[in-house]
Amino acid sequence: MPVAVYILGLGIFAQGTSEFMLSGLLPSLADDLGVSVPDAGLLISAFAVGMIVGAPLLAVATLRWPRRTALVVFEAVFAAGHVVAALAPGYGVLLATRVVSAIAYAGFWAVAAVTAVSLAPAGAKGRAMAVVSSGLSAATVVGVPAGTFLGQHAGWRAAFWAVAALTVLSLTAVLAVLPGGRGTEAAPPALGRELGALRRGRLWLAFGTTALSFGAVMASFGYLGALLEETSGIAEGWVPAVLSLFGLGAFAGLSVGGRMVDARPYLTHVIGLSGLVAVSAALGLTATSAPTAVTLVFLLGLAGFLTQPALAARVFTIAGDAPTLAGALNTSAFNVGITAAPLLGGLAIGTGRDYASVAWVGAGLAALALVAVALAARLDGRAVSTADGGAVSAVDGGVVSTVAGSADSAVDGEAGWTETRTPGRTPQRSKAPASASST
> In this structure, is residue 246 part of a structural domain?
yes
Say how far apart CA 233 and CA 40 lie, in whole Å. Answer: 27
The model's confidence at residue 48, banded by pLDDT at 50, 70 and 90, is: confident
- Co-location of 310 and 281 in the same domain: yes
**β-strand partners of 428:** 420
Q: Tell me whether strands 417-421 and 399-404 are parallel, antiparallel or unpaired.
A: unpaired
> In this structure, is residue 67 part of a structural domain?
yes
Q: Is the pLDDT of residue 172 over 90?
A: yes
Q: Is the pLDDT of residue 423 over 80?
A: no
Predicted confidence (pLDDT) per residue in 357-385, tens digit? 888 999 999 999 999 988 888 877 643 33
- Co-location of 119 and 165 in the same domain: yes
- Co-location of 320 and 286 in the same domain: yes
Hey, is 433 helix, strand or coil?
coil
Give the residue from 128, 149, 184 where a domain finishes: 184
- Co-location of 109 and 245 in the same domain: no
Q: Is the pLDDT of residue 179 over 50?
A: yes
> In this structure, is residue 384 part of a structural domain?
no
Please give the pLDDT value at position 189.
63
- Co-location of 405 and 338 in the same domain: no
Average pLDDT over residues 271-287: 92
Q: Are 127 and 120 in contact (CB under 8 A)?
A: yes
The residue segments making up the domain with residue 258 are 194-379
Number of domains making up the chain: 3
Predicted confidence (pLDDT) per residue in 206-257, tens digit? 889 999 998 898 888 877 777 888 888 888 777 777 877 888 888 888 888 8
CATH of the domain at 364: 1.20.1250.20
- Co-location of 347 and 205 in the same domain: yes
> In this structure, is residue 224 part of a structural domain?
yes
> In this structure, is residue 386 part of a structural domain?
no
> In this structure, is residue 189 part of a structural domain?
no
**Nearest Cα to 9, choosing from 148, 162, 178?**
178
Predicted confidence (pLDDT) per residue in 3-23, tens digit? 888 899 899 988 888 877 776
Please give the pLDDT value at position 353.
77
> In this structure, is residue 126 part of a structural domain?
yes
34: left (phi over 0), alpha (psi -120 to 50) or beta: left
